[in-house]
Amino acid sequence: MERENQRVVLVTGASSGIGLACATHLAGRGFRVYGTSRRGTGGAPPGTMTGLGSVTMLTADVTEDHSVEQVVGSVLSREGRLDIVVNNAGMAIAGPIENTSIEEAKRQLEVNFFGAFRVCRAVLPAMRRQGSGYIVNIGSIGGVIAIPYQAMYSASKFALEGLSETLRLEVRPFGIRVVIIEPGDHKTGLTQNRQLTEMSGTDVYQESFQAALAQTARDEQGGPGPEQIARLLYRIVNKRNPRLRYTIGPGAQRAAVWLKRLLPNSVLEHGMRTYYGLGG
Ligand X SMILES: NC(=O)c1ccc[n+]([C@@H]2O[C@H](COP(=O)([O-])OP(=O)(O)OC[C@H]3O[C@@H](n4cnc5c(N)ncnc54)[C@H](OP(=O)(O)O)[C@@H]3O)[C@@H](O)[C@H]2O)c1
Q: Is 97 in the site for ligand X (CB under 6 A)?
A: no
Q: Is 93 in the site for ligand X (CB under 6 A)?
A: no
* CA angle (30 as vertex; 173, 55 as ends), nearest 5: 95
Q: Is 16 in the site for ligand X (CB under 6 A)?
A: yes
Q: Is 37 in the site for ligand X (CB under 6 A)?
A: yes
Q: In a 10 Å sphere around its CB, with 0-12 CB exposed, 13-18 middle and 19+ buried, how is residue 103 labelled?
A: exposed
- Output 8 or 145, the one with its CB closest to ligand X: 145
Q: Is 177 in the site for ligand X (CB under 6 A)?
A: no
219-256 as b/e: b if 16+ CB within 10 A: bbeebeebeebbebbeebbeeeebeeebbbbbeebeeb
- Output 60 or 256, the one with its CB closest to ligand X: 60
CB of 220 to ligand X, least distance (A): 5
- Nearest of 114, 129, 217, 224 to residue 174 by alpha carbon: 129
Residues 106-165 that bind ligand X (CB under 6 A): 111-112, 138, 140
Q: Is 89 in the site for ligand X (CB under 6 A)?
A: yes
Q: What are the residue numbers of the active site?
A: 153
Q: How many residues does the chain have?
A: 280
- C-alpha to C-alpha distances, 178 to 23, 57, 108, nearest whole angstrom: 18, 24, 23
Q: Is 189 in the site for ligand X (CB under 6 A)?
A: yes
| Among the residue ranges 9-17, 23-31, 230-238, 254-262, the one whose residues contact ligand X (CB under 6 A) | 9-17
257 vs 224: CA distance, rounded Å: 18
- Output 82 or 116, the one with its CB closest to ligand X: 116
Binds ligand X by CB under 6 A, chosen from 19, 46, 47, 95: 19
* CA angle (175 as vertex; 10, 156 as ends), nearest 5: 50
44-58 as b/e: b if 16+ CB within 10 A: eebbbeeebeebbbb
Q: How many CA atoms lie within 13 A of 68 on its CB side?
A: 22
Q: Is 96 in the site for ligand X (CB under 6 A)?
A: no
| Among the residue ranges 26-34, 184-192, 207-215, 236-244, the one whose residues contact ligand X (CB under 6 A) | 184-192
Residues 218-277 that bind ligand X (CB under 6 A): 220
Estimate to the nearest angstrom the gap between the alpha carbon of 158 and the chain centroid: 12
- Output 29 or 38, the one with its CB closest to ligand X: 38
| Among the residue ranges 77-85, 165-173, 186-194, 251-259, the one whose residues contact ligand X (CB under 6 A) | 186-194
Where along the sequence are the contacts to ligand X (CB under 6 A)?
12-19, 37-39, 60-63, 88-91, 111-112, 138, 140, 183, 185-186, 188-190, 193, 220
